Structure 1
Amino acid sequence: MKTLVIVSHPYPEQSSVIKTLQQVAASVPGVTVRNLESLYGHDTEAFDLAAEQKAHEGVDRVVYLFPIHWFNLTPMLKAYLNKVWSYGWAFGPGGDALRHKEMLVVVSAGASEYTYSSQGLVQSTMDEVLTPMKASALYVGMRYLQPLAFHEAMGASLETLQGFGEAFAARLAGSQ
């Protein structure tokens, strides 16, 4: 299975989890990694639309790897979806470039899994927080896979990071 991993982190120098997961992805055969901030800095207008759309050609699965940023996508990833998923390419007449591809969302969160529960502080599960990604995938005809969330990511130990990496590698190796 060919996989495209789109990585975004607004503060890449502070991210041991996303860096680790990006390195894991890059080591898996059949996986191409594109880090938005490495390619474009923080300029939400700088995307090379032709290159980004071409990167999706021939892949079976697209993985979006990012930290939950104020219970949402990162600014670069939101801008990426706004620009790259254009009318006529991702949806609309002739817009079927993403149809039948799988979408896997992989996120890190500083807070605990309990915080992301109906009883927790935000009274929302991670699945509920990621509803816009699910809706977007379904709207363009993608198959939305169960997300992979790594909680308590801030200050994670090396052992915890290794566990995150192993879980991510297992998901990349499988079709679910």
Structure 2
Amino acid sequence: MSKVLIVSGHPDPAHSTANRLILENVKTLLPGAAVRELGKLYPDGAFDVAAEQEALAQADIIVLAFPLYWYSVPGLMKNWIDKVWLHGFAYGSKGDKLRGKRMVLSVTTGGPETAYRHDGEQTATVREIFLPLRLTARNCGMKVTDYVISYGMMFIPGLSAPEDMARIERETAEHARELARILS
């Protein structure tokens, strides 16, 4: 069985709705998966590089789980990539620790799916937006093999309707089931 590492890049997990629910469901569905919640482990961004590299090296499949922030990963996750995926570890002539691993992206957006089309508000698909991540993975000898994307996951307590929370709960449970299916 493949060793799965889920790296949650939400910078403020206490105020997350969709990403928190997805992660809770996935932990139940895949109890053997290792989980690194960057926002809880490193709220100040001071990473334990050795521990993070060890977790990555032990995994066969690496899941990057995050909300879409300004057409990319949240700053905390980007900083984690910059500080942990170092030359000599992740890439370069001796950087082979990620080579051959699968990367799966688990993404939530605030906007609806219709916004992420060429004729939509964002004029690009989420998969197109993540070309830099795919290229980063390729440079490290990995391949992004799957995406699980949930759209319209914004919930603002006091502003959003109760039926929005019910929909988000249903859709995050489905997101987690799909992620578990891909990883099993």
Runs (4+) of structure 1 moved beyond 4 Å? none
Which residue of structure 1 aligns with residue 133 of structure 2? 133
User: Where do residues 53-132 of structure 1 align in structure 2 (5 Å cutoff)?
Assistant: 53-132=53-132
Q: Distance in 2 between matches of 1:132 and 1:165?
A: 28
Q: Distance in 1 between matches of 2:55 and 2:177?
A: 21
Supply the RMSD in Å over aligned alpha carbons. 1.6
Q: In 1, are the aligned partners of 2:150 and 2:171 still within 8 Å (CA)?
A: no
Q: Distance in 1 between matches of 2:98 and 2:26?
A: 21
Q: Which residue identity lines up with residue 3 of structure 1 in the other structure?
A: V
Q: Distance in 1 between matches of 2:8 and 2:113?
A: 22
Q: Comparing both structures, which one devotes a greater share of its residues to helix? A: 2
Which residue of structure 1 aligns with residue 26 of structure 2? 25
Q: Distance in 2 between matches of 1:11 and 1:19?
A: 10
Q: Distance in 2 between matches of 1:139 and 1:55?
A: 19
How far is the alpha carbon of 1:175 from its aligned partner?
A: 4.6
Q: In 1, are the aligned partners of 2:68 and 2:107 still within 8 Å (CA)?
A: yes
Q: In 2, are the aligned partners of 1:117 and 1:125 still within 8 Å (CA)?
A: yes
Task: Give the TM-score normalised by structure 2.
Answer: 0.88
Q: In 2, are the aligned partners of 1:5 and 1:25 still within 8 Å (CA)?
A: no
Q: Which residue identity lines up with residue 53 of structure 1 in the other structure?
A: Q
Which residue of structure 1 aligns with residue 172 of structure 2? 164
Is 2:42 the counterpart of 1:34?
Answer: no
Q: Distance in 1 between matches of 2:169 and 2:98?
A: 31
Task: Give the TM-score normalised by structure 1.
Answer: 0.92
Structure 2 stretches of 5 or more lacking a match?
A: 156-163
Q: Secondary structure at the match of 2:86?
A: coil
Q: Distance in 2 between matches of 1:144 and 1:118?
A: 22
Q: Distance in 2 between matches of 1:69 and 1:88?
A: 29
Structure 1 stretches of 5 or more lacking a match?
A: none
User: Where do residues 37-48 of structure 1 align in structure 2 (5 Å cutoff)?
Assistant: 37-41=39-43, 43-44=44-45, 46-48=46-48
